[in-house]
Amino acid sequence: MPIYEYICQQCDHRFDRLWPTAAAAEGQQPVCPGCASTATRRAVSQVSVLGTLGGLTPQEQSAAGAESARQQSYTPKEQIQTFQANRQKKRGQGR
Ligand SMILES: [Zn+2]
C-alpha cells in the first residue's frame, strides 16, 4: 500500500496519506488534517514504503540511498580489508 506525502496549499501543512493502491491515489486531493481544506497537492517524489523514510529531507534520502548503494558495491572481502585497515589505523594512533 503506497504512502504519499501531501502539502496543504491553504496552511502549508504536510501530511502522509495511505492508499490501498497507487491507482486509488490518482487525481485525489485528500482533506488537510490541519484546516480541513481540500486544496492539497501531492509532494513530488515523496513516496515512501511504510513511512521508513518519512522523517528525512530529500537530501538525506538521496544521501542514504547513495550510501547503501556504495555499501552494496563492496564485496565481503573488501569489507574485511576495510575493517582491518581501519583497525590498524586506530592502533597506529595509540588507541
Ligand atoms: Zn491545511
Average pLDDT in the 61-85 region? 73
Report CA(26)–ligand 1 centroid distance (Å).
20
Which residue has cell 565481503? 76
Q: Is the dihedral of CA 74, 78, 84, 86 positive or negative?
A: negative
Report CA(70)–ligand 1 centroid distance (Å).
39
Task: Give residue-wise pLDDT tens across range 38-49.
Answer: 999 999 754 555
Report CA(30)–ligand 1 centroid distance (Å).
10
Nearest alpha-carbon partner for 16 in 33, 38, 28: 33
Q: Which residues surround ligand 1, an ion (CB under 5 A)?
A: 8, 10-11, 13, 32, 34-35, 37
Q: Tell me which of 4-8, 18-22, 70-74 is least confident.
A: 70-74
The answer for residues whose C-beta is within 8 angstroms of residue 13's C-beta and 6 or more apart is 7, 32, 33, 34, 35
Identify the band that residue 6 occupies on the pLDDT scale cut at 50, 70 and 90: very high
Report CA(66)–ligand 1 centroid distance (Å).
34
CA distances from 14 to 6, 24, 49, 84 (A): 6, 20, 17, 45
The model's pTM is: 0.47
**Domain containing 20: what range?**
3-92
Q: How many domains does the chain have?
A: 1
Instruction: Return the pLDDT at 46.
Output: 44
